[in-house]
Chain A
Amino acid sequence: MRWYLLGSRDMGRLRLRREILPYFEGMFEPHLDPVKIYMPQEVGKPAVPLDGGLTALLLAGGAAGYRQFKKKKKA
């Protein structure tokens, strides 16, 4: 039986191999469980009176109106 004296660098390598590397095993493999994947359900066609673009346009209209009244006030 032979004995080896391990230096701190060797101990570090050993620890890396035994304790740290196992955490990264299979990190690039997909972990998706097909049963648990969320499948979007049919939500129908909800009545939404305003979409994002129209809301932004209404806000822009308010801002343009404010600008115009400010101009009139100054004049």
Chain B
Amino acid sequence: MNALLQWAANNRPFLFFIGRFLITFFGLSILYALYLKYVELEGDLDLVTYWVSRGSHELARALGVADCEWACFMDGCYVGRPGHMVNILEGCNGLKLAIVYAAYVIGIGGWNWRSLLQMAVGLVVVQFFNVIRIGSLIALRDGGGDMYFYFLKYVFGVWIYGSVIVLWLLKPRIDRWLGQK
């Protein structure tokens, strides 16, 4: 017990970080859940899923998916050619990953303009990676074959989680760019 208290006393900044990290994560998650509840009551689709699916649709077209269709409903969007459509649900929109990234930034730096700027940029970067992920998925689904399943199961999971981890690893460098010691 004494050793634990000693460790806690020596690592007080880290414990503050963990506290801020978790409080921010759960706070932002609750806000997002309230927003989802609101759009559900309105009979609408959340804007993040809408824009991610729209971006993915454009990317899939740029990747050569001819006659790519895009239709959104209350529970998500369908993108691709008839018979090869990909269903983009709320859980695919990557916002929860952006929330984890934002919670880390706030956990390390606290609530200040640098953290808010990094939160906003992080949200855009994660969504950028997500649009590449889903757009490529639509193109692979359109092409047919087993590659779609391998990419869906392994590669794209690593891709989107990797984007958050790379942003975390770049954070000290970004802090230096922003003039933080």
Contact = CB atoms under 8 A, between A and B. Distances in A.
Q: How large is the interface on A (under 10, 10 to 19, 20 to 34, 35 or more residues)?
A: 10 to 19
A12 interface: no
B96 interface: yes
Q: How large is the interface on B (under 10, 10 to 19, 20 to 34, 35 or more residues)?
A: 20 to 34
B88 interface: no
Interface stretch (A1-9, A31-39, A60-68): A60-68
Contacts of A64: 104, 165, 168-169
A46 interface: no
A60 to B, nearest CB: 6
Contacts of B18: 62, 65
A61 B17 CA distance: 10
Contacts of B103: 61
Contacts, number: 46
User: At the interface, is chain B mostly helix, strand, loop or mixed?
Assistant: helix
User: At the interface, is chain A mostly helix, strand, loop or mixed?
Assistant: helix
A69 B15 CA distance: 10
Interface in A5-29: none
A54 B96 contact: yes
Nearest to B169: A64
Given A54-B96, A61-B104, 10 more contacts: A60-B168, A61-B168, A64-B165, A65-B18, A65-B21, A65-B108, A66-B14, A68-B171, A68-B172, A69-B13
Interface of B: 11, 13-14, 17-18, 21-22, 25, 29, 96-97, 100, 103-104, 107-108, 157, 161, 164-165, 168-169, 171-172
